[in-house]
Amino acid sequence: MFDVSLPGPILGIDPGLSRCGYGAIRREGSSLRAIACGVIRTPPTDELPQRLAALHVELEALVAELRPSAVAVERVLFQVNARTAISVGQASGLALTVAARAGVPVAHYSPNEVKLAVAGHGGADKAQVADMVARLLTLSQIPGPPDAADALALAICHAGTGRVRAAVGVADVGPTPVRSFERAVAAALARDGAR
Amino acid sequence: MFDVSLPGPILGIDPGLSRCGYGAIRREGSSLRAIACGVIRTPPTDELPQRLAALHVELEALVAELRPSAVAVERVLFQVNARTAISVGQASGLALTVAARAGVPVAHYSPNEVKLAVAGHGGADKAQVADMVARLLTLSQIPGPPDAADALALAICHAGTGRVRAAVGVADVGPTPVRSFERAVAAALARDGAR
């Protein structure tokens, strides 16, 4: 059932120092399938350099293992306070660095872009997004922890917007991702309607 | 004149994405000597992941070449705006990660701690700090660019506060750094008085 001509999966990363969510999806025909998700944690009791080094090691291993064709990282918002911004900046910087050094194209999406792509409106709450993630990936239950679901949502968002971004040279994730994505959304909604 | 029992140099890093200053110093008897300083630049026209990857490559090369016994990184302040905080966080996170993965102890100093250690008061301006950096390192002229001078100041600050930090297990930079530092300051001020 696998199309071996398909590129590597799309890896979503929801950066954070205490909890860094990741989720990888692959396109299979008109469907999207989750192939990995989880959370990288670093103990707040450790020193900051050791925590960052541990996160860096894990992210490198993740990219080496999954060999993604694209990495989608949550864009850090500017309305958070500066202290949080520094910490998220440190974690997101590592994700971007690991992807770039592995030669993997990186795309950035704001939380609102992700909500819009996954749940259809930018004002969707976390539960609605997580529910749509489960439907789009045909999962029997909502994936967790929440940071892992957020990372899967980022990857789904990229699957849907990949073609547009490819057109402007940011990332190429396949021949017709938008149409595939639209079909996956339609299929998921049809399944939902049939429940 | 070299004491081969001396550990590697102290490497100061003033993190930034557009300009990341670095400066390495070594203790020679009661003096401090600059052994390297400069600025790593990444072009603002490049994509962020590529800029971070380039900075990461340069920082790794710097640590591999200099083999520092300690890295002193400027502590990011919380009063800067969130946008700047993210960018500085990304750059400082890379510096901390590179040091930690190389097994080098990292110390953090706020700009005021550096000013206090180098110029004797926390309200010193940049020119006063740069002037003291030149005197303490017996340089014939003020080192530049400014980010490089700031990085040297960080390293000097660490040389002075190393013993205290070693006592609390943060970093060990030699047997009697505070006394050496005080001698270096006194010698520099004496030279200044004799001009």
DSSP helix/strand/coil, A174 = coil
Whether the upstream peptide bond of residue B145 has omega within 30° of 0, thus cis, is yes
Task: Give the Cα separation of A60 and A48 in Å (integer).
Answer: 18
Task: Give the Cα separation of B143 and A139 in Å (integer).
Answer: 60
Task: Give the Cα separation of B72 and A126 in Å (integer).
Answer: 40
Residue of B nearest to A72 (CA): B49
pLDDT tops 90 at residue B34: yes
Fold of the CATH domain B10-194: Nucleotidyltransferase; domain 5 (3.30.420)
More confident residue, B40 or B169: B40
Residues counted in chain B: 195
CB A93 within 8 Å of CB B90:
yes
Whose CA is closest to B18, among A169, B126, B159, B46? B46
CB contact under 8 A, A90 and B92: yes
CB contact under 8 A, A93 and B91: yes
Cα maximum dimension of chain A: 51
Structure tokens at A43: 């103990």
DSSP helix/strand/coil, B70 = strand
The CA radius of gyration of chain B, in Å to the nearest whole number, is: 16
| A67–chain B nearest CA distance, Å | 17
Of B50, B90, B99, the CB nearest to A92: B90
For residue B162, name the pLDDT band (cuts at 50, 70, 90).
very low
Whose CA is closest to A188, among A159, A168, A148? A159
What integer pLDDT is reported at residue A86 of this predicted model?
81
pLDDT tops 70 at residue B5: no
CB contact under 8 A, A97 and B53: yes
CB contact under 8 A, A96 and B52: yes
Task: Give the Cα separation of A143 and A37 in Å (integer).
Answer: 8
Q: Residues A173-180: contacts with CB within 8 Å, 24+ apart?
A: A173/A7, A173/A10, A173/A69, A173/A70, A174/A6, A174/A7, A174/A27, A174/A69, A177/A27, A180/A27, A180/A30, A180/A32
Residue of A nearest to B94 (CA): A94
Answer whether 0.90 is exceeded by the pTM. no
pLDDT tops 50 at residue B192: no
Task: Give the Cα separation of A170 and B128 in Å (integer).
Answer: 45
Amino acid symbol at B109: Y
Instruction: Give the mean pLDDT of B151-173.
Output: 65
Instruction: Please give the distance of CA A57 from its chain centroid, rounded to a whole number.
Output: 19
Instruction: Give the mean pLDDT of B54-58.
Output: 98
Structure tokens at B54: 């380039």
Task: Give the Cα separation of A46 and A123 in Å (integer).
Answer: 36
What integer pLDDT is reported at residue B165 of this predicted model?
38
Amino acid symbol at B184: A
Query: Chain B partners of A50 at a C-beta cutoff of 8 Å?
Result: 100
Instruction: Please give the distance of CA A83 from its chain centroid, rounded to a whole number.
Output: 24
Residue with tokens 């396949």: A174
Residue A142: other Cβ atoms inside 10 A:
15
Instruction: Please give the distance of CA A111 from its chain centroid, rounded to a whole number.
Output: 11
Q: What is the pLDDT of residues B81-95, one digit of tens each?
A: 667 778 888 999 999
Measure CA of the first residue to CA of the last residue in chain A; give whole Å.
26
Structure tokens at A194: 């049939």
CATH hierarchy code of domain A10-188: 3.30.420.10
What integer pLDDT is reported at residue B152 of this predicted model?
97
**Angle of CA points B2, B159, B186, to nearest 5°:** 85
Domain boundaries, chain A: 10-188
What integer pLDDT is reported at residue B133 of this predicted model?
94
Whether the upstream peptide bond of residue B68 has omega within 30° of 0, thus cis, is no
Query: Chain A partners of B70 at a C-beta cutoff of 8 Å?
Result: none
Structure tokens at B66: 């200099």
Chain A interface, Cβ < 8 Å to B: 47-50, 52-53, 55-57, 76, 78-83, 85-94, 96-97, 99-101, 106, 108
What integer pLDDT is reported at residue B79 of this predicted model?
53
User: In this predicted structure, which of A16-25, B35-44, B60-69, B165-174 has the lowest mean pLDDT?
Assistant: B165-174
Counting as low any pLDDT under 70, the low residues of chain A are 1-6, 77-82, 161-195
Cα maximum dimension of chain B: 51
CB contact under 8 A, B78 and A83: yes
